[in-house]
């Protein structure tokens, strides 16, 4: 019976957005994510009308998140038609730096896509989502997620989202 009474309380807390005890309220995060891919280290493979590109890059973050990262990525290009290619990207970002005055490192996962006419990761606007999945040092209790977008041909994306510390 006590468990049944607990369900409405938990549901009300979720609906009202109650912050767990000890957690700081979320704050807005925004800035730029500039990246420099290792163009000589890109490898690829093709399966049917889908091409996979694998690579690494070094990124610099400014704004709410300040520091550098080493990123691994895979770009998938799927030829939908003669003039239509759906291009997606998945990244694992290993960041070291500062967030809201706290120093440490974190791992972030990001994914996104663009529509293009060719299988090339440049020349069109990318858009996607990011989420921080774990950290160390003063960033061990950092959580965050948001969106990123930008023209790829200048090797810079803008990011927005929310972060908070437990």
Parse the chain into domains and list their residue ranges: 29-161
Say what the pTM is. 0.81
In contact, 71 and 94? CB cutoff 8 Å: yes
Q: Candidates 3.40.640.10, 2.60.40.10, 2.40.350.10, 2.60.120.260; correct CATH number of 29-161?
A: 2.40.350.10
Q: What is the pLDDT of residues 48-84, one digit of tens each?
A: 999 999 999 999 999 999 999 999 999 999 988 887 8
Concatenated DSSP letters of 27-52: EEEEEEEEEEE-GGG-EEEEETTEEE
CA distance 143 to 163: 6
Helix (H) or strand (E) holding 78: strand 65-81
Q: What is the pLDDT of residues 144-164, one digit of tens each?
A: 999 999 876 678 899 999 999
Q: What is the pLDDT of residues 1-34, one digit of tens each?
A: 454 444 444 434 444 344 454 567 899 999 999 9
CA angle 148, 153, 155 (to 5 degrees): 55
User: What Rg do the C-alpha atoms of the chain give, in angstroms?
Assistant: 19
Which residue in 136, 143, 131 sits closest to 22, CA to CA?
A: 143
HSE at residue 5, side-chain half, CA atoms within 13 A, is 2
CA distance 105 to 150: 25
């Amino acid at each position: 019976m006590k468990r049944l009474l607990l369900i409405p309380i938990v549901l009300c807390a979720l609906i009202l957005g109650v912050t767990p005890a000890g957690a700081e309220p979320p704050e807005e995060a925004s800035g730029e994510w500039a990246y420099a891919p290792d163009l000589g280290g890109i490898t690829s493979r093709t399966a049917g009308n889908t091409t996979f590109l694998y690579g690494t890059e070094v990124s610099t973050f400014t704004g709410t998140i300040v520091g550098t990262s080493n990123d691994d990525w895979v770009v998938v290009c799927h030829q939908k038609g003669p003039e239509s290619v759906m291009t997606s990207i998945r990244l694992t970002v290993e960041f070291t730096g500062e967030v809201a005055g706290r120093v440490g490192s974190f791992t972030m996962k990001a994914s996104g896509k663009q529509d293009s006419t060719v299988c090339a990761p440049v020349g069109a606007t990318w858009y996607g989502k990011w989420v921080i999945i774990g950290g160390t040092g003063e960033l061990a209790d950092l959580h965050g997620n948001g969106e990123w977008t930008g023209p790829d041909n200048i090797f810079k994306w803008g990011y927005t989202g929310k972060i908070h510390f437990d």
